[in-house]
Every structure is written in structure tokens, then in C-alpha cells.
A and B are shown apart, each in its own frame.
Chain A
Amino acid sequence: MIGSILEWLTSADTWSGDSGLGARLVQHLWYSLLAVVIAAVIAIPLGLWVGHTGRARWLVTLANSLRAVPTLGLLFAVALWLGPKFTSDLAFLIPSVVVLVVLVIPPILSGVYAGVEAVDPAARDAARGMGMTGAEVVRQVEIPNALPLMLSGLRSAFLQVIATATVAAYVGLGGLGRYLIDGLKTGDYVSTAGGALVVSLLALAVDGVLALIQRLVVSPGLTGKASLTRRRGMSAVSAEVASSDGGSPLPETNRRISS
């Protein structure tokens, strides 16, 4: 079985053409990137605003409780509702992208919020004392300090999108999920497992690249042994659990932080 999967993966026929593995891979990455970028454009400013002003914290709670909604259900409900409103291929694309965006707003939002929230109040006060305006505090103090948590939110958002885009093949989205869904329907286990393998490798690769970016852009003052969370005597995860659990009935699922 593994032999025939490898054969399938290495065959030129599998990779070539508009619906070949190469094209599907690019498609998958493209949808994922699109959804993450749209979600980030909405969630990052919102998270910064909530974290900076301390207002409307219920937004974060709401976003976190949205995570209990099964992805599959959200996808199907939106596809049934929005699908008929569009003609052509957009009928498949738009509902899926909408769901992907809705789905990854929570991890990004709570990552940004938890990051800003965890900024040492002393650092914020010092910045104000130096005469910085609110916007300057956000740009020069809060964002750099919140960066590790912001990026880990983005990272888990990206992975979630890659996973959900796979499932979205069921409602007609292109991408690598086609191999899994079509393969399961026709009972072609070789291409199903092959597609699954490629999606997994894609997820691992994206995770690796984002981890690298995370390591490169985070201020050196925050990494290494002098990290803020460690000085407070808390491990990164417990700090995250503590910061996210602001009366929310459902705890948060961001899981990784640079350490």
C-alpha cells in the first residue's frame, strides 16, 4: 500500500495539469493565505484596540466561545446559505473563504489581545512618562512586546485554515482537499492517503517557516533567559491560559509560544 502511494506521489501524471497535485498545492496555499490575511486585517487592529483601551473585552470572550462551534457545521450552513447567491465558481469559493475567515479571527484576536494584555504595565507607564502618545505606545511598546503571542496566534490560525480548507473540498473548494474528498467518495485509497500526506507535509512546512519568522522578528529583549513571562515565575502556557481565561466559559486554544 505504501509503495503504491509513493508511486502515485512520484508519478509525473499526478503532478501535471490544471488539476494536478502541483496546481492543487498552490491553490491550497493561496486560499489559506487569502483567509489568514483577511482575518488578520480585521482581527489585529481589533485586538490591539481591545488590549490597549481595555474596552469591549466581551469581543474576545465571544470569539473564544465561537470555537465550540463545529467547523464542519459552520462550513455547511454558510455554504447552503451563501452558495446559491453566487453564480459560477464563486459559489464554491466565497462561502468557504468566509468560513475560513470567521474561523481564524478568534485565534488571531485572542493572540493579539493576550499579547497586549500581558505587556508589563511598568513598561507602558514608562512610555507614557516619556511623553509618548497613545498611538506611539501601541506602535513602539505594545506591539513589540506582544509580538510573540501575536505571532503564535497567527501561526495556529494558519494551521487551522490549512486543515479546514481540506475539509472545505466537500462544499466544492479546490485545493488538496479534493484528493481526500474525491478519493473517499470513489474508494481510491491511494490518492486519498497521498493527498493526506501532502497536506500534512504542507502544514508542517508552513509551521516551520512561521516558527522561523517568529524567531527572526521577535525583539532580542524578549527572547533568551530574560523573558518577561519567565521572570514572573510563570511558564508560557500557564501565562497564556491565565491571560485568556477572562471569565470566558471556554478556554482558548492557542497552543504554541516561542520559548
Chain B
Amino acid sequence: MTWVNDHWDEIFTLARSHVWLAGLPLILGLLIALPLGWAARRWTRVYPVLISTSGLLYTIPSLALFVMMPLIIGTKVLDPINVVVAMTIYTVALLVRTVADGLGSVPDDVLQAARAMGYRGFRRFFGVELPLAVPVIAAGLRVAAVSNVSIVSVASLIGVSQLGNLLTDGYDRFITEEILAGIVACVVLALIFDGLILLGQRLLTPWLRAQGARS
């Protein structure tokens, strides 16, 4: 533990940028995927196009996407924006399908009941469909969160600092403890993200707990 004890400050600084690089794309990705998923649901022809496009985007290896980012958005090679945009692309690719399927999982009779009660358009979407789709969307978000935390560490290879620096530095200087510290820190961060999303889901779907208590 000596290495870790001497480097707490560094670990926390790196963890903070890791949270940004993995967390911000998660929020941006969700905000972009919501209207896209809705559109995929609304127009049947849009669905296959969006699903296959997002599948193709997700196929691109992370390191390759990171280094190609400057070509696409015209940034500098070392700019952290490259990582944020690339991670947002992955998150959107993963979430579009989840959002569309989550909205699709809302039972028809519920939609009809909502309609009969006068829910229409935006109000029906935000008041009925979206809340009921939360469990499915949250499941997708958890997958995205865990994979984002892992993928972001690759960014240390392109010189963007976050917890992955502990991994590359530990390897370059043969400090096994530093690598292990980096791994543990990433796993802990992934678990924290996962727990927060789970907590958010619980808070947003109180009726599920009520059902559980009754049965």
C-alpha cells in the first residue's frame, strides 16, 4: 500500500477527470438518445436506420475512434473534447435502441387509458411513456456507464489524463501496485456509477417498490 498512500492526491485528481470524461458523455448521450429513440418508435422506417447506424458506430474500436476524432471535428490530437465526443457517440449508439425498446415496452392498454384521460403529445410522452420506460432505459444506462468507465481509461494512450494514467505509468515504470490501484479505482468508479443509476431508477419508479411490497 505504500505507493497508494503516497499518491492519494494524484489518484483523486485523476479520478475527478475520469468522472467527467465518463459521466458527461453519459448525460449528453442520454439527452441525444431520448429524442432519437422516440423518433425510432414513432416512425417505423426510422427504426432500422437508427439501429443499424448505431450498431456500426459501436463497432469502431475505441482507440481508433479517439485518434480519428480530430479529423472529424477538427480538434487538436491531445484535446480531451475528442474523448468526450467519442464516448458520447458510443453512449448514444448503445442507448438509442434501449430507449426505443423501452418506449415500446409500455403496454398498449396503458397508452389507450392515458389517451382516454386526455394525455396527448408531450404530456403523454413525459407523463406516461417515459416514466414507464425508465426500468429498461436505466438497464441500458448501467451497461453504458460500466463500459464508459472502462473505455475512458484507454484515453491515456492518446495523452488525455484520467485513471488510465495509473495503468500506463505503472506499466512503463514496472510498478505493479500502481496498475492494481488503477484497476481498483476504475472498478470502484464503475460500481459508484452503477449504484447511482440504480438509485435514480428507484426514485423515479416508486410504483415498482409498492408492487413489490404488496406481493
Chains A and B are bound partners = yes
A90 at the interface (CB under 8 A from B): no
A193 touching B157, Cβ below 8 Å: no
Q: B101 contacts which of A203, A235, A256 (Cβ < 8 Å)?
A: A235
* A69 to B164 Cα, complex, angstroms: 12
A237 touching B101, Cβ below 8 Å: yes
Q: B97 contacts which of A2, A5, A74, A237 (Cβ < 8 Å)?
A: A237
B147 touching A67, Cβ below 8 Å: yes
Main SS class of interface, A: helix
**A68-B150, A253-B147 known; A76-B139 Cβ under 8 A:** no
Q: A180 contacts which of B63, B147, B187 (Cβ < 8 Å)?
A: B63
Chain B residues bordering chain A, tally (CB within 8 A): 54
**A249-B191, A249-B194 known; A235-B105 Cβ under 8 A:** yes
Stretch of B28-36, B109-117, B169-177, B205-213 that contacts chain A: B169-177
- Which of A2, A71, A189 has the most CB atoms of chain B within a 10 A radius of its CB? A71
A251 at the interface (CB under 8 A from B): yes
List chain A residues, Cβ under 8 A from B59.
Answer: 159, 200, 203-204, 207
Stretch of A8-16, A52-60, A111-119, A166-174 that contacts chain B: A166-174
A137 at the interface (CB under 8 A from B): no
Chain A residues bordering chain B, tally (CB within 8 A): 53
* A235 to B64 Cα, complex, angstroms: 32
Chain B residue at minimal CB-CB distance from A161:
B61
A70 touching B153, Cβ below 8 Å: yes
A235 touching B104, Cβ below 8 Å: yes
* A80 to B183 Cα, complex, angstroms: 14
B67 touching A180, Cβ below 8 Å: yes
A74 touching B183, Cβ below 8 Å: yes
Given A79-B171, A200-B68, A237-B136, 19 new contacts (CB under 8 A): A67-B146, A72-B167, A77-B180, A159-B61, A163-B61, A163-B62, A166-B63, A167-B157, A170-B157, A180-B157, A184-B158, A196-B63, A199-B63, A204-B59, A235-B105, A238-B101, A245-B139, A255-B58, A255-B94
Could you name 27 residue pairs across A and B whose Cβ atoms are closer than 8 Å? A68-B146, A68-B150, A68-B186, A68-B191, A71-B153, A72-B157, A73-B153, A74-B183, A159-B59, A163-B63, A163-B64, A184-B158, A196-B61, A199-B64, A200-B59, A200-B64, A203-B60, A203-B64, A204-B60, A237-B101, A237-B136, A238-B102, A241-B139, A249-B194, A250-B190, A253-B147, A255-B94
